[in-house]
Amino acid sequence: MKIIKLLVLGKSNVGKSSLINYLSKNHSALVSNKLHATRIASSYEFEYKNNRIKIIDTPGASITDNNLLSQAMKSSSTKYITSADIIILLTQPQNNYNYEMKIIDQIRESGIKFIVVVNKIDLDLNKKFEDKLLSSLALNQAMYISVTESINIEGLYKLLDENIDKIVPSENTEDIVLSTSQSNIQELIREAIVNRTNEELPYESAVLLKFFKEQKNSFIIKADIIVSKENHKKIIIGKKGSMIKNIGIKSRETLEGYLGKKIHLSLFVIVKDNWKNNTSILKEMGYIE
Ligand SMILES: Nc1nc2c(ncn2[C@@H]2O[C@H](COP(=O)(O)OP(=O)(O)OP(=O)(O)O)[C@@H](O)[C@H]2O)c(=O)[nH]1
Ligand SMILES: [Mg+2]
* pLDDT for position 174: 58
CATH code of the domain in which 191 resides: 3.30.300.20
Q: Are the CB atoms for 252 and 176 separated by under 8 Å?
A: no
CA of 194 to the centre of ligand 2 (A): 12
Q: Are the CB atoms for 67 and 276 separated by under 8 Å?
A: yes
Residue with the nearest Cα to atom 13 of ligand 1? Answer: 15
Residue with the nearest Cα to atom 14 of ligand 1? Answer: 15
Model confidence pLDDT, tens digit, residues 27-85: 999 999 999 999 999 999 999 999 999 999 999 977 778 899 999 999 988 999 999 99
DSSP letter (8 states) at residue 151: B
Contacts of 139 (CB under 8 A, 6+ apart): 116, 133
| Opening angle at CA 39, ends 282 and 45, nearest 5 | 105
Over residues 220-243, the mean pLDDT reads: 98
Hey, what amino acid is at 46? F
Residue with the nearest Cα to atom 3 of ligand 1? Answer: 120
Taking the C-alpha atoms of residue 33 and residue 47, their distance in angstroms, rounded to an integer, is 28
Pairing of strands 218-227, 205-214: antiparallel
Sign of torsion over alpha carbons 68, 70, 71, 75: positive
Beta carbon of 149 within 6 Å of any ligand 1 atom: yes
Candidates 199, 181, 200, 194; CA nearest to 261 is: 181
Task: For residue 175, tell me if it sits in a domain.
Answer: no
14 shares a domain with 157: yes
Residue 67, domain extent: 2-166
Secondary-structure breakdown of the chain: helix, strand, coil percentages, each rounded to the nearest 5: 40, 25, 35
Domain stops at, among 105, 133, 166: 166
Residue with the nearest Cα to atom 21 of ligand 1? Answer: 13
162 shares a domain with 185: no
Orientation angle between helical segments 230-237 and 242-259, nearest 10 degrees: 70
Hey, what amino acid is at 15? G
pLDDT confidence bin for 173, thresholds 50/70/90 = low
Domain stops at, among 139, 166, 193: 166
Residue with the nearest Cα to atom 12 of ligand 1? Answer: 13
Beta carbon of 56 within 6 Å of any ligand 1 atom: no
Q: Is the pLDDT of residue 242 over 90?
A: yes
Ligand nearest to the CA of 13: 1
For the chain, the average pLDDT equals 95
Beta carbon of 252 within 6 Å of any ligand 1 atom: no
Beta carbon of 32 within 6 Å of any ligand 1 atom: yes
Number of domains present in the structure of the chain = 2
Question: What pTM did the predictor assign?
Answer: 0.96
The atom number, within ligand 1, closest to the CA of 147 reads 31
Q: Are the CB atoms for 115 and 90 separated by under 8 Å?
A: no
Task: For residue 44, tell me if it sits in a domain.
Answer: yes
Beta carbon of 17 within 6 Å of any ligand 1 atom: yes
Candidates 286, 282, 183, 270; CA nearest to 227 is: 270
Tell me the chain's radius of gyration from C-alpha atoms.
19
201 shares a domain with 133: no
Q: Is the pLDDT of residue 20 over 80?
A: yes
* pLDDT for position 169: 79
Domain stops at, among 166, 197, 225: 166
185 shares a domain with 145: no
241 shares a domain with 99: no
Over residues 107-118, the mean pLDDT reads: 97
pLDDT confidence bin for 196, thresholds 50/70/90 = very high
CA of 216 to the centre of ligand 2 (A): 32
From 9, 17, 18, mutation site for ligand 1 pocket: most ligand atoms within 8 A of C-beta: 18
220 shares a domain with 152: no
CA of 37 to the centre of ligand 2 (A): 5
CA of 149 to the centre of ligand 1 (A): 12
